[in-house]
Chains A and B, each alone.
Chain A
Amino acid sequence: DTAVSQTPKYLVTQMGNDKSIKCEQNLGHDTMYWYKQDSKKFLKIMFSYNNKELIINETVPNRFSPKSPDKAHLNLHINSLELGDSAVYFCASRVWREGEQFFGPGTRLTVL
């Protein structure tokens, strides 16, 4: 069984479109994250939720809006996509303030 899953795995879309990425974890964790990995493999945190509450919101454009309907799910909606949004987006989860994070397989977003 996949611990942290993301859909879709690949997303190719035109500039200006709106798209969503979904993440689900079946580990019983209470904290979930979105990370962005750029073309140089640099991984940067975007958002963090604990028990459905937003606790970290890095300097991310307002076009990015995360939503956590419950502890096991964290979605990311992106409005008005731009070329610079092209990257791999990773979801991760862990027990609140306890060590290792478990990562999903990533969603490769390509904006044309």
Chain B
Amino acid sequence: SQQGEEDPQALSIQEGENATMNCSYKTSINNLQWYRQNSGRGLVHLILIRSNEREKHSGRLRVTLDTSKKSSSLLITASRAADTASYFCATDGFDQGGSEKLVFGKGTKLTVNP
């Protein structure tokens, strides 16, 4: 299965601290994306990293990708209470039937305490 697996499943930190979430996957990918989901809401795209990139930044977000280890990490620096949400990695690639699709991991539930 192409499915990503996030780790940890849940993370609780204090405001101002950094939060690191990891994602591992099993097959080759075109890109890997991170999404955020606030409680009761839809998913919001955060950042995309292509298979030939190793690191990408966007504001307080830093994403790394290691295709040899089939893993990615999302770092949120100087966290805020508003960052409290579930974070999902999604791998974009072709399945055995040749269809391109996003396959989501199970998510990391981040709680940032004020």
Q: Which residues of A contact B (CB under 8 A)?
A: 4, 40-45, 48, 55-56, 90, 92, 97, 99-106
A46 to chain B, nearest CB (A): 11
> Does B13 touch A at the CB level, under 8 Å?
no
* A56/B42 in contact, CB under 8 A: no
| Known contacts A41-B106, A100-B33, A56 near B101 by CB under 8 Å | yes
Docked complex Cα distance between A101 and B106 (Å): 17
Count of chain B residues near A, Cβ 8 A: 22
Tell me the residues in window 21-41 of chain B with beta carbons closer than 8 Å to chain A beta carbons: 31, 33, 35, 37, 40-41
Q: Identify B99's interface contact among A43, A55, A105, CB under 8 A.
A: A55
Q: Considering the chains assembled together, what is the distance between the CA atoms of A106 and B40 in angstroms?
A: 8
Q: Is A43's CB under 8 angstroms from B88's CB?
A: yes
The residue from B31, B42, B43, B101 contacting A99, defined by CB atoms under 8 A apart: B31
The residues of B that contact A55 with a CB separation of less than 8 Å are 99
Interfacial chain B residues near A44, Cβ < 8 Å = 104
CB of B41 within 8 A of CB of A40, answer no
Please tell me if the beta carbons of B107 and A103 are within 8 angstroms of each other in the complex: no
Contact status of A41 and B107, CB under 8 A, knowing A48-B99, A100-B33: yes
Which of chain B's residues has its CB closest to A4's CB? Answer: B42
- Smallest CB gap from B92: residue in A: A99
A106 and B41 contacting across the interface, CB-CB below 8 Å? yes
Chain A CB within 8 A of B48 CB:
yes
Residues of A within 8 A of B61 (CB): none
From A4, A45, A48, A90, B103 is in contact (CB under 8 Å) with A45
Q: B17 interface residue, CB < 8 Å from A?
A: no
- Cβ contacts under 8 Å, B48 to chain A: 99-100
Most A CB contacts (10 A, CB to CB) among B31, B48, B101, B106 go to B101
Interface assignment of B102: CB less than 8 Å from any CB of chain A: yes
Q: Is the CB of B45 within 8 A of A101?
A: yes
Q: Closest chain B residue to A57 by CB distance?
A: B99
**Cα separation A42 to B45 with both chains bound (whole Å):** 17
Residue of B nearest to A105 (CB): B42
- Chain B 46-97 interface residues, beta-carbon cutoff 8 Å to A: 48, 86, 88, 92
